[in-house]
Every structure is written in C-alpha cells, then in structure tokens.
Amino acid sequence: MNARALVGAAADSYPSIERGTLDAGEFVGPHDDEKLGFMRVARFYLAPGFREPGARLHQLINNRAFGALPGACKHALEAACDEADSGMLARYDHLNPPVLRRLVAAGAQLRFWPRGTMQAAWRASHGVCEETGGRNARFRRFWDAYRPHRGGHFKWFRLIENAFDNFAFPAAAAVR
C-alpha cells in the first residue's frame, strides 16, 4: 500500500479516499466513521486506532488569564472541562460497539494491524518526538518528563487492567 496522509477537515477524507488520493481514513472511531460514510469507499476496518488510542478533549487557556480568575471560577472551569471530557468518552464508549457491529454486518472487513506495522509506527512517532525535542527546548522538557510518567502508566495498566481484561473477556463470553 502506498501510504498517504491528509490532515484537515473530516469532510475532505471521504472524497479523497473515493478518488484514490488517500488509501484510508479514520475520524475518532466507528461512530464518526459511519457518519462520514467511509464504509462506502473503504471496505477494510483496521484496528487498533494506534494514532489515537483514546479520545480526549482539550481546553487551552492562557496561563495568566487563568491565574487571574477567582478561585471559584477556576474550579468551575476545571469541573466543566472534566465533565465534558468524561461525558464525551462515555458517549463514544456507548456508541462505538454497536456501530462497529453494524459496519461489519454491512460488509466491512475487520482486520488488525500487523505487529511490525504497529512497531514501525511506534518507532516513527518517537523519532518525530525526539527530532522535535532537538529543535524545541520546551517540547524536550515535556517529552523527557512524559516518557517516564507514561511508562509508569503502562506498567500499571499491564498489571491491573490487562490482567482483569484477560480474565473478564473470556469469562463474559462463556456466560452468554
């Protein structure tokens, strides 16, 4: 496959796939992919979405402006951002499973990225971060702090979440 990428409006992806300018498209997950009609122009549904393993919302606020807010306003803004983020994630977690089943029932072929492709993407993304850190001291400080923090999370999720998933998924399938 000749990999080509498009960063832009979601609406640009469909015609670009249809014309062959893009080989693939993805916009957040199955729910949005269905709304955008990707199934009409792309028959394979590849997983996992390693570019964006979990959707998140972000609110960027000038630090001085935020610091000038009264304490109650800061707390209200933080609570509203937390609520919007967790509500969005819960909504997608609710909507995506039945949509993926519909896509597969309509003929989408669910496939998984080969491990080598995932590893190459992982290495390439880290290479971009290293390169960016070499040019940008602020990014370097973030990247150097983020990696060990993320490593701790990987260990935690492997120990707790993955262990539970490895038990619960087969157990749930056996009870049907």
Using one digit for the tens of pLDDT, what is the confidence trace for 132-173? 999 999 999 999 999 999 999 999 999 999 999 999 999 998
Q: What is the pLDDT of residues 90-122, one digit of tens each?
A: 999 999 999 999 999 999 999 998 999 989 989
Q: Report the 10 Å Cβ neighbour count for 144.
A: 10
- Same domain (yes/no): 21, 85: yes
Q: How many distinct structural domains can be found in the chain?
A: 2
Last residue of a domain, one of 113, 135, 154: 113
On the question of pLDDT at 3 being above 70, the answer is: no
| pLDDT value for 53 | 64
pLDDT for the residue numbered 6:
44
Range of the domain at 123: 114-176
* Position 59 confidence tier, pLDDT thresholds 50, 70, 90: confident
Backbone angles phi, psi at 15, to 5 degrees: -65, -30
The answer on 56 and 18 residing in a single domain is yes
